[in-house]
Amino acid sequence: MANFNTHLNGAFAVSGVLGLTVYKAGLINDSGFLMCVALGTIGGLLPDLDSDNSTPIKLGFNIASFIFAFGLVMHWRSELSLVALIALWLAGYGFMRYVVFRLFTSMTVHRGVIHSVPYMAILGLGLTCLNYYGLHNPLSISWFYGLFLFGGAMVHLSLDEMYSVNLSGMTLKRSSGTAMKFYQHKDKQWYLLLYVLLALLVYAAPPFAPFWEQLRDPTHWAQLKVGVLPDLIDNLNR
Ligand SMILES: [Zn+2]
């Protein structure tokens, strides 16, 4: 199992690079970029959210809550008054810190269930639905938020998987194959519940096709190609 710092850095690095890529492609704006990186980083911490390794997780969650609150304020900075923004900041922080975090730590009994692909898929899809239906965010940003959260969590599970491989002899340790979990027989009722929930969310989720079309739109990637390297060619031509 990878440790807390590895998870924090790994998720931050991956979501940072991916976030920058879609940002440079013009698919998300400034605040969207910030939120995507924050959500990816939070996602990278979520699977280990249990009371056993409390201190670093709590610290990480505190920081993540601050970033989340900051992202919220950035998102609505032009529409809301100063007082409303301060209230939003506090509410956002409090929501993450005292509602979301509590909710997770209260479910620690079933660690094996949290540390799994379907659980994280539910969180990602849930976030997409919340953004699209609840906060009335545009379709693409709603999908990006959910995917970054899910992606961060997948970075976490992959890191755990990699760390369970004994690199010196390339032999598999006993813990191998348990990180990237889709199902575990001893928790079969829990997994049944998870997959039912997931199916409901897939059914209720906002349409994916228009988002996918937008993602595949070549104009975005042409724009990215222009901006991917410093203006070397320009300088050489001069
Ligand atoms: Zn883990």
Distance (angstroms) between ligand 1 centre and the Cα of 1 equals 6
pLDDT value of position 51: 47
**CA–CA gap between residue 174 and residue 61 (Å, rounded):** 30
8 Å CB contact between 150 and 121: yes
More confident residue, 58 or 235: 58
pLDDT-derived band at 235 (thresholds 50, 70, 90) equals low
Averaged pLDDT, 67-75: 83
pLDDT value of position 169: 43
Q: How far, in whole angstroms, is CA 235 from its chain's centroid?
A: 39
Q: What is the pLDDT of residues 154-174, one digit of tens each?
A: 999 999 888 876 544 455 555
Distance (angstroms) between ligand 1 centre and the Cα of 111 equals 10
Distance (angstroms) between ligand 1 centre and the Cα of 161 equals 9
